Amino acid sequence: MNLRPPADYIEITTNIGCPNNCTYCPQGRLIQAYKKISDVNRMSYELFTKCIDKVPAKTNILFSGLSEAWFNPDCTRMLVYAQNKHKILVYTTMSGMSIEDIRILETLPLEEFHLHLPTDENTENIAIDDDYLQKLTYLNESRIKVTYSFFGLNLKKCLEPFLKGKKVLKRDFHSRAGNIYLSKIFENRRKKGKIDCELLYGKGPVLLPNGDVVLCCMDYGLEYILGNLTRNSWVELFSSQAFLKACRSRTDSSIDSICRRCIQSQDVGLQSRINNTLVPLLMLYMKNPKSLFKAMGKIVRRLVNSDKSCK
């Protein structure tokens, strides 16, 4: 089996049990699954450095993972250590972060800083208080190049004056590989036929607080534990039975991998596109036949774009 060398990035989950408790994030499933394997809910600085020392220098480090990274008070210290050898990316809500943390980050050559903003629908438990607004103001005026985004219908109204002139991206909800329920038509469907995904080439595994490494950022149920970086080498993670099983699921539809429940995986071949893209869309628009004609362009784009193999 020809696989790309695992290189692009590894995500860091510094703690388990995110107090932000976003309704579109399956924290309950993660907490229950993690309880079965470990009682180390907060990553220590010592464990982090031990694990990161095994990661190749060309592999980027993404502070994001399955929980808000800065709920761990050692997060900035970890980032400072990692940036000596690696390129650093950040995805954060700023919860748990201080202005002093931002001051330190401002001095570092970050590849990317992505700020997840709260919404008017209150789907996140992010307090918009004086501390938050002070951090947002300082971040906006800093040298950090920030990408702003939110999940949902509307950005929190009170934040608009602080983001005037800023481009804010609106992101769609999805099921996190079937770990949360969103739609009877799309989310209960298991993809059939050949599929592919860049994460099946070792692109974005996730380090957990106890040193375990899971397949990707959609594995909230911890179904694919590739190994543990306190014991295993980096290369061993990608020759593990769990990783090879996930890779086989690209062509073997009898394997019920999370990839077959995930929006990130792409259909490969005409039959897969019909089963996984055309049929669900037709079912959706059959409820309102008048909208079907208007939606034909969207359907064609989905069919074309779904066949982008990651090879």
Distance CA 223, CA 237 (A): 14
Q: What pLDDT, on a 0 to 100 scale, did the predictor assign at position 303? A: 56
Distance CA 215, CA 98 (A): 31
46-60, 134-148, 263-277, 297-311: the lowest-pLDDT one:
297-311
Inter-residue contact 167 to 11 (CB < 8 Å) = no
Distance CA 106, CA 99 (A): 10
pLDDT greater than 70 at residue 75: yes
Tens digit of each residue's pLDDT (9 = 90 or more) over 19-52? 998 888 889 999 999 999 999 999 999 999 999 9
**Cβ within 8 Å of residue 185, ≥6 positions away:** 280, 283, 284
Give the mean pLDDT of 125-147: 96
Q: What pLDDT, on a 0 to 100 scale, did the predictor assign at position 296? A: 59
- Mean pLDDT taken over the chain: 84
Give the mean pLDDT of 112-137: 94
Give the mean pLDDT of 227-237: 96
Tens digit of each residue's pLDDT (9 = 90 or more) over 239-280? 999 998 888 877 777 877 777 777 776 666 556 565 656 666
Give the mean pLDDT of 83-112: 97
Q: How confident is the model at residue 4 (pLDDT cuts 50, 70, 90)?
A: very low
pLDDT greater than 70 at residue 283: no
DSSP assignment of 204-216 equals: --EE-TTSEEES-
Residue 139 identity (one-letter amino acid): L
- Better-scored residue on pLDDT, 60 or 246: 60
Percent of all residues in the chain with a pLDDT value above 90, rounded to a whole number: 57
pLDDT greater than 60 at residue 311: no
